[in-house]
Chains A and B, each alone.
Chain A
Amino acid sequence: MDLSQDTDDLLANFPQWAALRHALAENNKDPQLWGELVSYVEGLVATQLNTLKTNPQLCELLADDFRSLLARFPYLTEFWKRFVAIEYSIEGLEGSVAILEEAVASFPSSCELWVDYLNVVISNNLKDEPQVRDLFKRAVAHVGRQFLSHPVWDLYLDWESKHAGVTALEYVQILLQVVQYPLHQYARYFESLYEITSNFTIEDLIPAEKLHSLMESSYPGKQLQDLDADQVKDLSDSYFNEIFTSCYTRVTERWEYESQLTKQNFDLLPVSDDDMARWIKYLDFEESKGDVEQIKSLYERALVPTCSYETIWLKYLRYLIRNSQDTEYIVSLFNKGCDVFVSADQPTIRYMYAKFYELKLEHHEKARQIYISMIAAHPTETHPIARYVQYLCGRLGNEHTCRQLLRLLDVYTEKTTDELDADFGELRSVLNMWNAANLVVEAARIQWVRRKDVRAARDVLFAYIKTELVRCSVAFWTFFFKFELAQKNTKNLANIVNHVKYYGQLPTTCINQLLDEYREHLFRTGSLEQLQPNRELVRLILETDIESSTHMKHFLKARLSANRDEDPVNKRLIKENGHPGVVSEYRPRLVNPIDFDASILAQRDAAQMPRFTNVERATMPLKYLQMDETN
């Protein structure tokens, strides 16, 4: 949403409009705010139409806002309709038809939008007969199999009855098509068909191939012209009865699922697990029936309310990859899912896309692009790199990949200036201080779990233990720790823990988790003799307890100090005691208090004269740490 100074100037006379736009820029997924904005604009259209008409910049801004919403969420039927209405008021018919065309192009599985579009086209005579017929054919191809698609069919039949007439072949062919589909209103179409069948020959009604096989089974050896009128009628009746029965069964079967669907339209609210489960159940049923076009149609419908979740996308794509050769369609579907609908925090569909390129199309450059873009989009996460390395291992072999990863690390740390090939060069381009250490982990992982070479894995890890690269990498240290834990190598675990607890620049929770696991490991694998009450074990207990006071966390204190010495941190704790962030350096203190436990009854002499420190400075002002910074 454009929030530049220019637009603010433009909206100077419409403060509410400007305010709503600013609110939406903060939260562009709030259906209520969008509703308010559109209602506001509708109000403007109703009251200040001339102002809008004379100011093309305002109209453009308005249209841009609508387009940005509908590009991000193309399935908001209601907003399309309101956009059309507003555009009609401002720009007139032509503008509104253009929007409707856009609408059916972006949301082709919307029966409602098709009906609107077709109605406008027909009632205003915008197109000639063959064009309208084509448009109807497009519409029914997209939505004609939807359970509640009768408005489109009715419109189509009505139009054709007026143009070609009910006795025309064009008209009956529509009916012959519609009765094949399990629709809610299927019975009506059968009635209409029965009413007019007498106007047509049996060749008009039954496809030649089908007719031929019917003849074969009912009147073997005879020709059609050999039959009398009754026999022909029997033939036709039994044919349509069969279709009717099958349609009836299919509708009844589907009714069970259709009647339970509570969420069929898209809105900006979450989809409940129940709704999701209902769709999945229905889809499973439809898949089991095996009618490819019907399955596709249902998926297209299901993907309207659930388009923001990858669940049904994944299911649909898996179905298509298994059952369809139309790779172009699959790729377009992947693109639609990844680019428009599924949010970036749902990575599975992206990885599936990459796998599809890798395994089905063997198009490695595309696969790599997807992996690399995933790493770039999630610069601090470990998983995208792991997936890419898995992919590389599969293609280039474990040994080669491992070697190249280490070479890449040398390039990254500027040890060498070797040229890298595209696979690793592009990886280099998306590395940063957070994820570079993952390459060490991945190289070690290849050695450990793929090549089963524990020693080589350990060599890789050890080579980097003291480098800047891994110092603040949670992935590196937890992997190294888990690796040695699996090897039950207590000595190395101790080394890792020692390093991490004093030098690790990791989150405290992460370090404490390692310390906890290490302590558990000692208790599980040590002997009673090794578990002496040594200071170290006690400190491990103190360090990770939430109950412990700060000053008992010795490793934390050591980490906070430059030379691993707790004293400076202790001093700071004392200075800020009672008021973290506020330093009072000079607290008055009695230097020679009387031993409280010494009995008064046994006291022989008067107490010593008290001696003090800092009494004269008791009233010195406090120092606020933040003040230091600004000064």
Chain B
Amino acid sequence: MKTPLVVTRRMTEHPADSHTIERYEATGGYSQAKRALGMTREQLVEEVKTSGLLGRGGAAFSTGLKWSFLAEERPSYVVINADESEPGTFKDRQLMERDPHQMVEGTIITAVANQAHLAFIYVRGEYAKPARRVQKAIEEAYAKGYLGSGIFGSDYELDMVVHLGAGAYICGEETALINSLEGVRGEPRLKPPYFPAAKGLYMKPTIVNNVETVSNLPHILAMGAEGYATLTPSEDSGTFLMSLSGHVARPGNYELHHGITWRELIYETGGGIPDGRELKAWIPGGASAPWFVPDRHLDLEITKEATNAAGSMLGSGAIIVVDDTTCMVRATERIVRFFAHESCGQCTPCREGTTWLEQVLRRIEDGMGRPVDLALMLDVSDGISVGLDWPPKMTTICPLGPSAISPILALRDYFSDEVQEHVRLGGCPFREVRAHA
């Protein structure tokens, strides 16, 4: 089945001007935000619950359920998480650059449903251009009376503010993001309270949703919750943007439905592995997700449940593919280095553990590895995520530390020979294959 396009339809059909308010309105834009103003909070929450919409930021939590947790205290706030930083992920960037009004309308619907009069769009600092596009869209919406006081001729007031991050992956964690917005260091908060919907920004009820999540909302209202839930045959409602990168012939963002297989995604959508090489492994959902390998996972269906059952996750929808010339020690080192760099430093197991793992991986790659190094890495990993289980058990405030363990598990499960080969040779056996510096 060909996936019906939802969030990328406008930019696909009208590539030249999908970002303008003229095109947006000519294709039905802002009619659903206006309609939402005539609906009660209960109706809106129910509609989104029934649609089966799952959060697209990585946790795949039911958006309607999240909304239903909103505490009664007021004011409440809405924050859109546009801090997209998971390695391999570039979907929200495309949504913001190419169809910013869709996100703005989704944000208005979210604010109305959660009785918020102030919404923040937290865009990562490196996304200067997407932030400009979103800012422009917001200004256009203000000029039309869709934001500000008395939006769409109602008596509802809503302000929207773009807040630029400054280069910290951890601010994608919703409580860290809230701290960052409050003007303190962007460190995740200790739980409980578990949900910002109870105590979030300024300790007031706060809904934090991802860009792609809210971009779906105008379409859910337009086609109805049932229509959205039955749009695709998959048990996971709706469509999903999947970011394909690495060794595939056609990298890019693809709007697909769940239920296809990894084989279809990599070989049909992605065009297979270039230069006549073989598929070695892939990450199914961003750098935090444990790796998959062809002989075990290629014909697995891409669904939330099947992926979780196989010991990984669909996360942020980023698929990173590597071919048979790739050194897994080097790939692992690069991922672990990321987490070591982005660790906020609050929790010792994460701060120290990721740094040690990076150093051990580097010495193996540089030819100074020892036979016990794999066991050593597993021991350090166990200190960050006890039992090395999936889903990970945590010794830390947030999942960043345990995420760094994911590629180490792949070394243990599928590539231990490759690690030992490095130790035996006193160097990287792949160095000749791809002449890396």
A binds B: no
- What residues of chain A have their CB less than 8 Å away from a CB belonging to chain B? none
